[in-house]
Amino acid sequence: MIGDKAKMRYVILLRGINVGGVNKVVMADLKTHLAQMGFENPVSYINSGNLFFDSKEPEKKIKELLINYFNNTYDFPLPFALIRSDILQKEADKLPDWWWDETAYRRDVLFYLPEVDREKIKAETLSWIDEKEHLHFGETAFFYSNHNQADYLLSNYHKKLIGSSFYKSLTIRNGKTFQKIIELANKK
């Protein structure tokens, strides 16, 4: 039928909330507000800003609604990544085997926020990495792994990431959280 839109599952990944009592966002309230805005089946996972919902609205309109809501509700900036679940699943399907190795000391997923310069991030991070570390650059994020705690603590990634020019253009999740995000993103 003309005009029928397929319902899509979306993931919202908020940056910099509920850390040390700063930039407090109550997930239960946010889920309620998402439902009031017309988003279906809102779900959250842990308190770090991982939310899921279904919508027939175009992605551009969803982003506009969320930006307006966040700007009118919170007195601090609330950057976020909005990703369709099918795109996130394709990203997970393309990950190299090394990333899924849960024995690694550190596995991070560094999601790109909108308007990020991905090529700049890639060039800078590749200059840091040594043979003990792994990087994979995807469409929605880049993926990092280091198997040894001592190597990680000495790594440029550990030492330089927070001070990098692009750090505030990312929202980071660890490997276990990413796996749970994939699971919840695929729930219908």
Q: What are the b/e assignments for 6-35, b being 16+ CB within 10 Å?
A: eebbbbbbbbbbbeeeebebebeebbeebe
Number of residues that make up the chain = 188
pTM: 0.93
The one-letter amino acid code at 158 reads: H
pLDDT given for residue 4 in this prediction: 59
188 residues of the chain, pLDDT tens digit each: 445 578 999 999 999 887 777 788 888 999 999 999 999 999 999 988 899 999 999 999 999 999 999 999 999 989 999 999 999 999 999 999 999 999 999 999 999 999 899 999 999 999 998 888 999 999 999 999 999 999 899 998 999 999 999 999 999 999 999 999 999 999 86
Only one residue has tokens 């506009």, namely 64
pLDDT given for residue 187 in this prediction: 84
For residue 104, report the phi and psi dihedrals to the nearest 5 degrees.
-60, 145
pLDDT given for residue 47 in this prediction: 85
pLDDT given for residue 23 in this prediction: 83
For residue 22, report the phi and psi dihedrals to the nearest 5 degrees.
-100, 150
pLDDT given for residue 130 in this prediction: 86
Return the biggest CA–CA distance within the chain. Answer: 59
pLDDT given for residue 1 in this prediction: 42
Q: How far apart are CA 187 and CA 52, in angstroms?
A: 9
Nearest to 44 by CA among 188, 186, 181: 181
